[in-house]
Amino acid sequence: MKRFFLAVLVMIAYIATAQKPVEFVIETNFGNIEGFLYDDTPLHRDNFVKLANDGWYDDSEFHRVINAFMIQGGGNKDGRPDPGYRVDAEILPNHFHKKGALAAARMGDNVNPKKQSSGSQFYIVQGKTFTEQELNMMEQRQMQGTYNKVITNILDRPENAAKKKSIIEYQNSGNIEGIQSIIKEFEPEAQEMMKTEKVFHYSPEQKVSYQTVGGTPHLDNEYTVFGEVTKGLDVVDKIAAVKTGAGDKPVEAVRMKIRIK
């Protein structure tokens, strides 16, 4: 019987430990920023933990700071911007760019269509608040982006090569009406394809958060959010407010050390 109760206690302790999220502390000369990493973005969680434990971030800088937007760091103190690899995207709808969100920076879609994250570059969202009307407009832009992608996929088909060539010629000559006339030909097919596309919408939780706490909603669905700040948002505000120079780099270095609790 004693062995049975002991086994139960051990199992309970194991479950409690397994469910506890990984916590981090970012020590800066403005104070500490504390938070946790999401378990459903394991590639980013494990990579961040490894880099922190290896001392990659020790004495490195927040090298890009934009007030009312975000603070970014992640390079090594020896000048290397990243470890030389990328992390596959883990972009999930339940993680969004509210104030305090911890997310991975990345190269643009033109050279990184899979939206893979930098091996070490990260940013913490400061952002600002938005009205419901502004959020609705952002949803419309997301929908337009999806529609543009559908049109592009149609034009990329071999049988539409001539039409695509004409669009390029119209672009070079500034003939907007010519471009619109060709796209109009494909509208019925594009509208039908849109029925199977995943159209982006902000959830009620996101809308409330962006209207009250703030954030950077235009980054949603584009970058992997893999954690969040639970303590030290005032420190984020202080860092975001520092004087910056070329490339949004702080005039006086803001250094960090990251440790895993």
Q: Can you list the alpha helix ranges (DSSP code H) found in the chain?
A: 2-19, 42-54, 132-155, 161-173, 176-185, 187-194, 204-212, 233-240
Full-model pTM: 0.82
pLDDT digits (tens, 9 = 90+) for 216-250: 999 999 999 999 999 999 999 999 999 999 999 99
| CA dist list (Å): 171 to 84, 163, 168, 178 | 37, 12, 5, 9
Q: Is 19 helix (H, G, I), strand (E, B) or coil?
A: helix
- Closest among 111, 103, 122, 135 to 208, alpha carbons compared: 135
pLDDT, averaged in runs of 10, over the chain (261 residues)? 48 55 98 98 98 98 98 96 97 96 97 97 98 95 91 95 95 95 95 89 94 96 97 98 98 98 93
- Closest among 26, 51, 24 to 117, alpha carbons compared: 51
| Per-residue pLDDT, 45 | 98
The neighbouring-strand residues paired with 61 are: 255
| Per-residue pLDDT, 4 | 47
- Closest among 249, 217, 213 to 233, alpha carbons compared: 213
- Closest among 231, 233, 252, 260 to 61, alpha carbons compared: 252
- Closest among 35, 137, 37, 41 to 89, alpha carbons compared: 41
Domains and CATH numbers, the chain: 21-129+213-260 (2.40.100.10), 132-194 (no CATH)
